[in-house]
């Protein structure tokens, strides 16, 4: 029986083929390279990366969010979640697109830029010549960026001058440029009020980076902006309209983010099943114990539910719906489920579960971050509850 039938949800044949293709690629090509890496390495040699990227390219697995006119191979949201789930099973896939086997693609918001910006910054990211970061969060808080962004951009001469600090920015060091969000006006000064997106290069005077060690191996960075001068032509989109652009991009990213977490957790559960079936106890294998079976059953049920929520959100996006609340639902449930499943898998492995020779403890640390990044669970609960309250009148008995 195919897995699609097993889940009782019939994925279209081409998506089943895509899933199997990515699964094979991860198992046969990416995993052997990953096996040679130190436990906490977040990338491989440039030679291995070029090799994997070349293969991924041949299979049509790269440039998935790049418009066709810029050399892209855009695919549906459903295809992206299928790829995200399978590719997250190896870390060289999980850190895609910036560092992983699947290569390329700048943050999507660059495609809303001018022709010159796309030429200078967007296109070189497509084939891996450039890499970018996105900086929204600040030390004063990331959960409510619309109100919390206090980095200021003031127009002086023909330039915008940025002052402020950004926190927890992934991939900032070594990037070729970043998209930094700053408050351009509170209104009343002739400048449209709101937040604006700027393209900033790391060698502009007045920008510096400090690594922040965190629970997972891939460190984020603090960015300090002290009278950092940005050319006027580096405003991305309209002045004062940056936040709307960021929101669309974030919604778009959350659904594959959840799918990736489910992929990691599925791998952990499958590993644990393999382990308990061959781990002897005084009276039979571990797999015969109800305590173990319940952990397996709960994990399987929750993972299936989480995957269906991801498919539901992706299919709504493919039908042209905004998917905002659905993205919050699958991000919340996907990240929390994945954390629980990996935790149970560690428990089933016992001491081996926390050993550095196994990937489980690394996944556990990575997944802990996922409940905070891309919006903490509590903020997604708030989004979901507000929507529910707005659209529900009390049902049959109270309405």
Ligand X SMILES: Cc1cc2nc3c(=O)[nH]c(=O)nc-3n(C[C@H](O)[C@H](O)[C@H](O)COP(=O)(O)OP(=O)(O)OC[C@H]3O[C@@H](n4cnc5c(N)ncnc54)[C@H](O)[C@@H]3O)c2cc1C
Binding site residues, ligand X, CB under 6 A: 133-137, 141-143, 168-170, 214, 220, 369, 372-373, 375-376, 378-379, 382
Residue (of 129, 197, 140, 188) closest to 164 by Cα position = 140
The nearer residue to ligand X, 42 or 315, going by C-beta atoms, is 42
Q: Which two tokens stand for residue 219?
A: 């460190």
Residues facing residue 182 across a β-bridge: 196
Angle among Cα 265, 30, 357 to the nearest 5 degrees reads 60
CB of residue 36 to ligand X, shortest distance in Å: 25
Q: How far is the CB of 215 from ligand X (least distance, A)?
A: 8
- Asked if residue 341 lies in contact with residue 273, where contact means CB atoms within 8 angstroms, the answer is no
Q: How far is the CB of 311 from ligand X (least distance, A)?
A: 25
Contact 22, 87 (CB under 8 A): yes
Residue 390 CB partners (closer than 8 Å, separation 6+)? none
Using CB positions, name the residue nearest to ligand X: 142
Strand partners, 195: 183, 241
CB contact set of 327 (below 8 Å; sequence gap of 6+)? 251, 254, 255, 258, 313
Q: Is 13 annotated as catalytic?
A: no
Selection from 344, 338, 379 nearest residue 141 by Cα: 379
DSSP 152: E
In the complex with ligand X, the residue whose CB is nearer, 160 or 181, is 181
Cis link prior to 97 (omega < 30° from 0)? yes
How are beta strands 177-185 and 194-200 bridged, if at all?
antiparallel
Closest contact distance (angstroms) between CB of 148 and ligand X is 7
Residue closer to ligand X (CB basis): 128 or 373: 373
Pairing assessment for the beta strands 194-200 and 280-281 based on DSSP bridges: unpaired
Q: Which residue in 201, 197, 162, 203 sits closest to 178, CA to CA? A: 201
Q: Shortest Cβ distance from residue 172 to ligand X (Å)?
A: 7
Shorter beta-carbon distance to ligand X: residue 52 or 136: 136
Cα 393 to Cα 59: distance, rounded to the nearest angstrom: 49
Least CB distance to ligand X at residue 179 (A): 10
Closest CA to 346 of 284, 264, 282, 285: 264
Tell the smallest beta-carbon distance from residue 264 to ligand X (Å): 16
What is the DSSP code (8-state) at residue 141?
A: B
Q: Which three-class secondary structure state does DSSP give residue 203?
A: coil
Which of these is catalytic: 34, 222, 361, 374? 374
State the Cα torsion 63-66-68-72 to the nearest 10°.
-20
Which residues are marked as active site?
374
């Amino acid at each position: 029986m195919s897995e699609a039938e097993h889940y009782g949800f019939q994925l279209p044949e081409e998506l089943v083929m895509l899933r199997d293709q990515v699964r094979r690629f991860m198992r046969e090509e990416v995993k052997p390279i990953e096996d040679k890496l130190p436990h906490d390495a977040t990338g491989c040699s440039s030679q291995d990366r070029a090799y994997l990227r070349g293969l991924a390219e041949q299979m049509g697995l790269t440039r998935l969010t790049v418009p066709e006119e810029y050399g892209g191979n855009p695919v549906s949201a459903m295809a992206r979640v299928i790829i995200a789930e399978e590719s997250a099973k190896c870390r060289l896939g999980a850190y895609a697109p910036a560092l992983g086997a699947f290569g390329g693609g700048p943050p999507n918001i660059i495609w809303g830029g001018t022709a010159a910006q796309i030429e200078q910054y967007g296109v070189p990211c497509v084939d891996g010549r450039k890499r970018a970061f996105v900086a929204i969060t600040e030390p004063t808080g990331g959960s409510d960026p619309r109100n919390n962004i206090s980095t200021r951009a003031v127009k002086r001469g023909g330039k915008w001058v940025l002052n402020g600090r950004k926190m927890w920015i992934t991939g900032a060091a070594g990037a070729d440029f970043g998209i930094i969000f700053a408050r351009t006006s509170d209104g009343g000064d002739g400048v449209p009020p709101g937040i604006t997106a700027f393209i900033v290069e790391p060698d502009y005077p007045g920008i510096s980076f400090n690594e922040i060690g965190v629970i997972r191996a891939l460190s984020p960075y603090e960015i300090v902006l002290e009278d950092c001068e940005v050319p006027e032509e580096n405003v991305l989109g309209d002045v004062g309209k940056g936040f709307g652009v960021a929101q669309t991009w974030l919604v778009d990213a959350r659904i594959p983010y959840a799918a990736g977490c489910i992929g990691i957790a599925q791998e952990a559960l499958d590993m644990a099943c393999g382990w308990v079936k061959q781990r002897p106890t005084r009276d039979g294998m571990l797999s015969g114990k109800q305590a173990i079976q319940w952990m397996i059953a709960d994990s399987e049920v929750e993972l299936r539910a989480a995957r269906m929520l991801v498919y539901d959100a992706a299919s709504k996006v493919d039908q042209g719906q905004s998917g905002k609340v659905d993205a919050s639902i699958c991000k919340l449930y996907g990240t929390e489920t994945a954390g629980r499943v990996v935790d149970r898998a560690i428990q089933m492995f016992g001491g081996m579960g926390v050993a550095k020779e196994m990937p489980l403890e690394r996944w556990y640390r990575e997944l802990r971050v996922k409940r905070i990044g891309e919006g903490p669970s509590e903020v997604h609960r708030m989004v979901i509850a507000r929507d529910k309250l707005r659209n529900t009148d009390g049902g049959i008995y109270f309405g």
